[in-house]
């Protein structure tokens, strides 16, 4: 990846106009007959942000993106792109967006060179040199038929095309599915670089926390068709903590300490790796160095642990 970017290439600072919205959802709902996919989805993505759109498979992420692009109609609510409703200036708006879909659909008889000739007429700011350099970075053969590409190669080709359109906003829908770890890292490094090189807004939809943790400025988590969290990683992590005790020592009704009784929600509880574990969400910050009941300990949490606690709440969820 370093071979692509000259040493003199600056690492641009983030824009000072962070509060200028590029994408805005306001109470968006989508129904397919009796099936309710989205219920009340609200979020705002500001100019220059890398924004992680997180939710497990089937949460409605791809439906939200299709509505954003004008492919699927809303049932209710509103979506704005670049300050305008999506129903206005749709063609010109799409020319300002680079899009990498979850599944790639190219003409299999084309090669990347032919694909570029086909696509560049649709985008007024097509950057041919950048496209060619990206093919080299990702080691994509420019004259091999795309029908012979693997799924990971097609995803990288889609990113090459999207970036070459010089987009103001880059929309990525589960783009790393099927990639090996090396290809994923190259892909994510390029996304991060592009966001900072040109102050591109990135809307990154995924259920894989590792894909977004290192590059996102803010995230939204959706569950059951609605936004259950929007903000930074630190704010989310600081409100959730996990405590455990050896399962042989646990008795029903036991609690890690009286500190969890005040403005606290029990998100999950159950046995894991020989210990009984309880996951709590605190109205304020999780207490630092709490006084624990005998046998209890506080367990470290990864961002994935926090995500699971938010979206996969058990039957024991209740306020304390």
- CATH at 160: 3.40.50.300
Q: What is the DSSP string of 154-216?
A: HHHHHHHHHHHT--SEEEEESTTTT--HHHHHHHHHHHHHHHHHH--EEEEEES-HHHHHTT-
Are 52 and 181 found together in one domain? yes
Are 206 and 271 found together in one domain? no
Are 62 and 119 found together in one domain? yes
Are 182 and 258 found together in one domain? no
Is position 14 within any domain?
Answer: no
Closest to 320 in 3D by CA, of 224, 256, 272: 256
Are 46 and 189 found together in one domain? yes
Mean per-residue pLDDT, 17-37: 87
Determine which of 36-40, 181-185, 202-206 has the lowest per-residue pLDDT on average.
Answer: 181-185
pTM of the model as a whole: 0.83
Mean per-residue pLDDT, 126-149: 93
| Band (29; pLDDT cuts 50, 70, 90) | very high
Strand order in 318-319's β-sheet? 297-299, 240-246, 275-282, 264-272, 318-319
* CA dihedral angle for residue 161, residue 162, residue 163, residue 166, rounded to 10 degrees: 110
Q: What is the DSSP string of 95-122?
A: TTEEEE-SS----TT--HHHHHHHHHTT
DSSP conformation class of 9: -
Are 35 and 183 found together in one domain? yes
Q: What percent of the chain has pLDDT over 90?
A: 42
pLDDT, position 212: 84
**Residue 63 confidence (pLDDT) above 70:** yes
Q: What is the spatial distance between Cα 42 and Cα 76, in angstroms, rounded to a whole number?
A: 12
Number of domains in the chain: 2
**Residue 254 confidence (pLDDT) above 80:** yes
Determine which of 2-6, 160-164, 291-295, 305-309 has the lowest per-residue pLDDT on average.
Answer: 2-6
Is residue 95 classed exposed, middle or buried when 0-12, 13-18 and 19+ CB atoms within 10 A define those classes? middle
**Residue 17 confidence (pLDDT) above 70:** no
Are 58 and 192 found together in one domain? yes
Is position 5 within any domain?
Answer: no
Are 92 and 169 found together in one domain? yes
296 φ/ψ angles, rounded to the nearest 5 degrees = -90, 150
Mean per-residue pLDDT, 267-278: 90
Is position 3 within any domain?
Answer: no
pLDDT, position 263: 66
**Residue 37 confidence (pLDDT) above 70:** yes
């Amino acid at each position: 990846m370093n071979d692509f970017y000259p040493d003199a290439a600056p690492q641009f600072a983030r824009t000072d106009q962070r509060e200028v919205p590029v994408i805005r959802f306001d109470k968006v709902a989508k129904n397919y007959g009796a099936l309710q996919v989205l219920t009340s989805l609200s979020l705002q993505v500001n100019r220059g942000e890398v924004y992680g759109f997180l939710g497990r498979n089937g949460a409605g992420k791809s439906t939200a993106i299709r509505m954003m692009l004008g492919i699927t109609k809303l049932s209710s609510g509103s979506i704005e792109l670049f300050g305008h409703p999506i129903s206005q200036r749709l063609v010109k708006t799409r020319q300002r967006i680079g899009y990498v879909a979850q599944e790639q659909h190219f003409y299999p008889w084309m090669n990347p060179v032919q694909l570029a000739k086909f696509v560049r007429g649709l985008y007024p700011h097509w950057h041919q040199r950048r496209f060619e350099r990206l093919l080299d970075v990702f080691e994509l053969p420019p004259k091999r038929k795309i029908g012979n590409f693997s799924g990971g190669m097609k995803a990288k080709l889609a990113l090459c095309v999207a970036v070459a359109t010089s987009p103001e906003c880059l929309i990525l829908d589960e783009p790393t599915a099927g990639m090996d770890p090396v290809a994923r890292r190259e892909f994510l490094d390029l996304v991060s670089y592009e966001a900072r090189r040109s102050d591109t807004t990135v809307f990154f939809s995924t259920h894989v926390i590792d894909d977004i943790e290192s590059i996102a400025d803010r995230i939204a988590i959706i569950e059951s068709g609605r936004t259950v969290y929007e903000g930074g990683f630190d704010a989310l992590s600081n409100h959730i903590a996990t405590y455990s005790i050896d399962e042989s020592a646990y008795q029903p009704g036991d609690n890690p300490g009286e500190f969890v009784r005040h403005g606290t929600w029990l998100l999950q509880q159950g046995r894991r790796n020989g210990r009984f574990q309880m996951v709590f969400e605190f109205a304020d910050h999780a207490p630092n160095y709490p006084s624990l009941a005998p046998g209890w300990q506080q367990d470290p949490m990864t961002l994935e642990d926090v995500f699971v606690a938010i979206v996969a709440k058990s039957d024991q969820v209740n306020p304390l």
